[in-house]
Structure 1
Amino acid sequence: MRAFVVTKYGSPDVLALRELPYPVPKPGSLLVRVRACTVTSADCRIRGLNVPRGFRQVMRLALGGQAPRQPVLGSEFAGEVIGVGAGVTRFALGDEVFGMSANLGAHAELLVVRETAALALKPASLSFAEAASLPFGATTMLDFYRRGRLAPGEQVLVNGASGAVGVAAIQLAVAEGAAVTAVCSGANAELVRSLGARHVIDYSREDFTLGGPRYDIIVDAVGTAPFARSRLALRPGGRLLAVLADLPAILSAPWQSLGNYSVIAGPVSERASDVQRIAELAASGTLRPVIDRWFAFEELPAAHRYVDTGRKRGSVVIDVAGEGR
């Protein structure tokens, strides 16, 4: 099978298209023919070892010293089950599935995943590309909103509202009956309003941390609104969901949560039940895929370069199977 591998940490130039052995599913695992995957900001951070402050050496220990031990990146995918290991009961040959691979590996034509992984049957109403674009942002925000105890009627601000996490944060909050204010560039105002944001703040013209309305929940999807900056924009009892936080912010979160506010940070728990919930919300039209650009499989390094700009809206999809849009 063909797969893109990371030969060493660095720019997109370190990505190489290689022929790898055909994988065989072990007991309890599935073999999926990947039809579409994505390049996420997390993929680019791993590739370049561009991680929040304090995490660089930790990530080298976790991922590998000079290059990732798992050289094939990609966690978000959609495809067809073409092989099952012994004991598999959740899925069958021919099932169309989508979800997250806990061990990466989705930037390839074939992928082995545990049947207990965060995946579900693909809604028939979605293309493979649309399905692949949903899990990363939506599983992240389902987990953070669960920990943050999002409730109907609350005021939610999403900082970094036009990325994959941001567009999911808006739609999931609206689905729970919250009122959303989106912080993004003026160019993305129409997009976030179409997803349900009631108010839009253009970050180039206004700083929401310097006064004005206060919020029950602030979602910081891009790491530019730590507690020290955003505290004054929180209501008493408010919660900061620090989706992208550096190590000092994560370590200080318990202490910052001792007063009238809570800071929620740290790793995301990816659950099969959450991907099933995503499938249901997408099938009903409550959760809408937002795809910025499509790239052919052979163009995956170019997709990394685009994501590296920090300007993507929603998701960047890789058409692995060559099916077009």
Structure 2
Amino acid sequence: MHTTTTMRAAMQRQYGPPSVLEIADVEPPAPGRGDVLVRVRAASVHPGDYFVMTGEPYIVRLAFGLRRPRHAIRGMDLAGVVAAVGEDVEGFEPGDLVFGWCTTGSLAEYACVPARNLAPVPENLSLAEAAAVPTSGMTALQAMRDVARVAPGQKVLIVGASGGVGSFAVQIAASLGAEVTGVCSAGNGELVASLGTDHVIDYAASDFTARESQYDVILDNVESRPLSVVRRALTPAGTLIPNSGKGGRLLGPIGRVIRAHVLSLFTRQRLRPFTSVGTREDLLALAALASSGQLTPVIDRVYPLDAAADALRHVATGHTRGKVVVTI
């Protein structure tokens, strides 16, 4: 029975850099109807968490709070142990190992999660590995399977193949039967090759847009080149998915999203920026891929909860090698 009166959490009372995060003792959440209370053991962080923490681009404040974050505890993705279940919850009971995502903050000892946002942890994953999966894994899955509709034999290029989304996208594209090329630094080439790529390009030694090869699908997680330049590496009817999330302080990537949609009106090429939406069906699909050995989360660094600010600083560099995890 869950009887804890306080819990430790990484909180922020205002928007700003990682230094605004503080570890505080707060009242733990209580599960409502349809909710599961999870004793969090691991939580992963990603660029979206950084955007919400800083409140930039400013457009994120429309969803998360105009003057300060509506939910003070940062983090979304988690893995842990079911501590209690609310009314109308079926399929979970105290003691179960689960992973998924929440909106009230995963960088805490406890988090309240809608049951529909959880799935059992695959037996071959640690809790840290499971926590790395939800947001980045679903983004990669939806990009490859739903937006690009990757089919066996297609040529797929993943730019930023060693990052959080990229490391999942490489493996998912391979599982769909594609011929996969990963673009990364020389230091990450061996890692990317181990994930199932057929070819690896060192971006410092070779410009993929200047090569003769063309690809049916390009997932660009870096977006260091204009759309017009990247399109040179795309087949005449190929699909380009820009996915860096970067942009100006006011609107973020929205300007590039608009340009991509406008360009799509004048070419057979499909330019498809998108926003992933979490679903339990996709979480279960990722769990199945992990269970079958087709998907292995890559963990760059692991931080304790007291160093949650450092974890987000590392994410902000844009050079993570897989996922960044906080253990609790």
In the alignment, structure 1 residue 296 sits paired with structure 2 residue 304: yes
Q: Distance in 2 between matches of 1:300 and 1:148?
A: 35
CA-to-aligned-CA distance 1:72-120 (integer Å, 9 cap, x gap): 111111011111111111322221111122x151111101111122x21
Q: Which residue of 1 aligns with 2:320?
A: 312
AA paired with 1:249?
Answer: R
In the alignment, structure 1 residue 93 sits paired with structure 2 residue 94: yes
AA paired with 1:27?
Answer: R
Q: CA deviation at 1:313?
A: 0.4
CA-to-aligned-CA distance 1:177-216 (integer Å, 9 cap, x gap): 1011111111100000000111111112222123421100
Change (3 A) 1:159 1:104: farther
Q: Distance in 2 between matches of 1:250 and 1:132?
A: 29
Q: Which residue of 2 aligns with 1:37?
A: 43
| SS across alignment from 1:59 | helix
Q: Which residue of 2 aligns with 1:11?
A: 17
Q: Distance in 1 between matches of 2:91 and 2:240?
A: 36
Q: Distance in 1 between matches of 2:228 and 2:234?
A: 11
| SS across alignment from 2:314 | helix
| SS across alignment from 1:219 | strand
Q: CA deviation at 1:3?
A: 0.7
Q: CA deviation at 1:257?
A: 2.4
Q: CA deviation at 1:171?
A: 0.3
Q: Distance in 1 between matches of 2:222 and 2:190?
A: 20
4+ long deviations beyond 4 Å: none
Give the percent of matched residue pairs that are identical in Structure 1 and Structure 2.
41
When normalised by structure 2's length, the TM-score is: 0.91
Residue among 272, 283, 289 paired with 1:264: 272
Q: Distance in 1 between matches of 2:140 and 2:26?
A: 34
AA paired with 1:160?
Answer: G
Q: Which residue of 1 aligns with 2:128?
A: 129
Q: Which residue of 2 aligns with 1:183?
A: 183
Answer whether contact 1:226 1:242 (CA < 8 A) is retained.
no
Change (3 A) 1:223 1:49: farther
| SS across alignment from 1:116 | helix
AA paired with 2:197?
Answer: A
CA-to-aligned-CA distance 1:264-320 (integer Å, 9 cap, x gap): 113212110111111111111110121111111111112122222222100111111
Answer whether contact 1:75 1:105 (CA < 8 A) is retained.
yes
After TM superposition, the structure 1 = structure 2 runs for residues 273-292 of structure 1, keeping only pairs within 5 Å, are 273-292=281-300
Q: Distance in 1 between matches of 2:167 and 2:104?
A: 23
| SS across alignment from 1:113 | strand
| SS across alignment from 1:181 | strand
| SS across alignment from 1:193 | helix
Q: Which residue of 1 aligns with 2:261?
A: 254
Which moved further from structure 2: 230-239 or 37-46? 37-46
CA-to-aligned-CA distance 1:215-237 (integer Å, 9 cap, x gap): 00000112324522211110011
When normalised by structure 1's length, the TM-score is: 0.92
Which moved further from structure 2: 18-27 or 241-250? 241-250
AA paired with 1:296?
Answer: P
In the alignment, structure 1 residue 171 sits paired with structure 2 residue 179: no
Q: Distance in 2 between matches of 1:226 and 1:48?
A: 26
Q: Which residue of 2 aligns with 1:323?
A: none
Q: Distance in 2 between matches of 1:156 and 1:50?
A: 32
Q: Distance in 1 between matches of 2:154 and 2:143?
A: 15
After TM superposition, the structure 1 = structure 2 runs for residues 127-276 of structure 1, keeping only pairs within 5 Å, are 127-145=126-144, 146-245=146-245, 246-258=253-265, 259-276=267-284
| SS across alignment from 1:67 | coil
Answer whether contact 1:159 1:183 (CA < 8 A) is retained.
yes
Answer whether contact 2:104 2:112 (CA < 8 A) is retained.
no
AA paired with 1:65?
Answer: L
| SS across alignment from 1:71 | coil
Which moved further from structure 2: 306-315 or 170-179? 306-315
Q: CA deviation at 1:239?
A: 0.3
Answer whether contact 1:80 1:97 (CA < 8 A) is retained.
yes
Q: CA deviation at 1:132?
A: 0.7
Q: Distance in 2 between matches of 1:228 and 1:248?
A: 15
| SS across alignment from 1:93 | coil
Structure 2: where are the runs of 5+ without partners? 1-6, 246-252
Q: CA deviation at 1:256?
A: 2.4
Q: What's the Cα RMSD here?
A: 1.5
Q: CA deviation at 1:44?
A: 1.5
| SS across alignment from 1:165 | helix
AA paired with 1:80?
Answer: V
Q: Distance in 1 between matches of 2:114 and 2:141?
A: 21
